[in-house]
Structure 1
Amino acid sequence: MIGCFSGFCTVNQTQVHRLPNSLSRAPLKRLFFKTQCNQQKVRRQILSRKFYMSNTEELKEENVWDYPRPPKLEKTKQRLRVIHRGKVIADTQDGYRILETSHPPTYYFPPESVNRSLFKESNLKTFCEFKGTAIYYDIHVEDSVVKNGAWCYPETRGLYKPISGYLSFYGSKFDEAYVGNEKIIPQEGDFYGGWITKNLKGPFKGAPGTRFW
């Protein structure tokens, strides 16, 4: 097994510039209205917070509909952090991000950058057509347990081999998550783990009605 914590690894897992061609016109109007509402919600969240420039590099404007499929894996110079109940769960400036059409980026932390003493492997397993099988971890912080808060691909393949054993986190399940000095907004949905920053343009997959985009 490559880079995971346990002795074994089982496997598993504004404006619309483009929308999938498979959507019919009638549902599209309803979907567009829902999407605009969700985009306005994200915009209000962004405007209500104070932002600071990253201490490493400036975030460039990106449209998630310009991200490729299969997804692109790239290094990031941004400092990445996850904090819960005042305790640092993970902190790195040596991470990766994955860019996939319609999704905000997911960020991957090297195993040595996380507080391993807080992690316990759960029974959840999922499968990704690109990265292979994933295992999940519950994070134990004092008297709280973040169920399936992080996941790991112990043996990724092809283009994604560099993140074998790396950890990614659901921003929605932790008190704070940061890209640079910017506190992120979690991607909607119970399956996706993207992190939204102010430089990103959507709409973002994850809201009700978008699962099969």
Structure 2
Amino acid sequence: MIGCFSSFCVVNQTLVLRLPNGLSRTLLKGPFLKTQHNSQKVQQLLSRKVYMSNSENLKEESVWDYPRPPRLERTRQRLRVVHRGKVIADTQDGYRILETSHPPTYYFPPESVNRSLFRESNLKTFCEFKGTAIYYDIHVKQVVIRNGAWCYPETEGLYKPISGYFSFYGSKFDEAYVGNEKIIPQEGDFYGGWITKNLKGPFKGAPGTRFW
């Protein structure tokens, strides 16, 4: 029910955000005064970027069903990297690479990372599929995370969409998340995959698995 006057309206309604998992969140409840201030507030609520990603919605996957050459696919799961309470990267517009025996590696668009913390290191590696990767040290509160992130600046072919994107070693940071789930880093110091509870192994990376 809406009652209108010359200078304001009284609105008796509820604004509810419907979430994909069947839940809902009430943002506003009436009655309230529909003044210019409240109209701006409603617009801010409606335009606010709401992260609804939840790793509990991920289907079960076996890393032995992943292909080789690896598959690149978009993911709308919220991806985050945090160290000492500071957000290093945060996106819901990333990619993941799926390769036989490996947990996924996740790639963040450049606008989603805090580049002010990055310093290019001298390390470079070569991938037969994606080309040459360059690495970055991450500087956070007087701590330097050596070679904590990498990037393929000139990837071609199937992997061209991730040119200039960044990926992170979960093992080198305090926290890394897929959706609401804190990941388990892939073993070893080279591959950098992120393990979530929906994944089935065994996973490459531990001693003795180099030639899997």
Equivalent position amino acid for 2:83 in 1? H
Moved over 4 A (4+): none
Call closer, same or farther: CA 1:63–1:56 in 2, change over 3 Å: closer
Q: What's the RMSD between the two structures over aligned residues?
A: 1.2
The answer for the alignment partner of 2:203 in structure 1 is 204
Equivalent position amino acid for 2:194 in 1? W
| Alpha-carbon distance, 1:172 to partner | 0.1
The answer for the alignment partner of 1:83 in structure 2 is 82
Highest Rg: 1 or 2?
A: 2
1:129-175 deviations in Å (ceiling 9; x for gaps): 00000000000001100000000000001000000000000000000
Please give the alpha-carbon distance, in whole angstroms, between the structure 1 residues aligned to 2:135 and 2:54. Answer: 31
The answer for the alignment partner of 1:99 in structure 2 is 98
1:98-157 deviations in Å (ceiling 9; x for gaps): 000000000000000000000000000000000000000000001100000000000001
Q: TM-score, normalised by structure 1?
A: 0.74
Q: TM-score, normalised by structure 2?
A: 0.74
1:162 match: secondary structure: helix
The structure that is strand-richer by fraction is 2
Paired residues in the alignment total 161
The answer for the alignment partner of 2:163 in structure 1 is 164
The answer for the alignment partner of 1:143 in structure 2 is 142
Which sections of structure 2, spanning at least 5 residues, go unmatched? 1-51
Please give the alpha-carbon distance, in whole angstroms, between the structure 1 residues aligned to 2:176 and 2:124. Answer: 23
1:34-77 deviations in Å (ceiling 9; x for gaps): xxxxxxxxxxxxxxxxxxx9448710000000000000000001
1:12-48 deviations in Å (ceiling 9; x for gaps): xxxxxxxxxxxxxxxxxxxxxxxxxxxxxxxxxxxxx
The answer for the alignment partner of 1:112 in structure 2 is 111
Which sections of structure 1, spanning at least 5 residues, go unmatched? 1-52
Equivalent position amino acid for 1:90 in 2? A
> Share of identical aligned residues, percent?
91
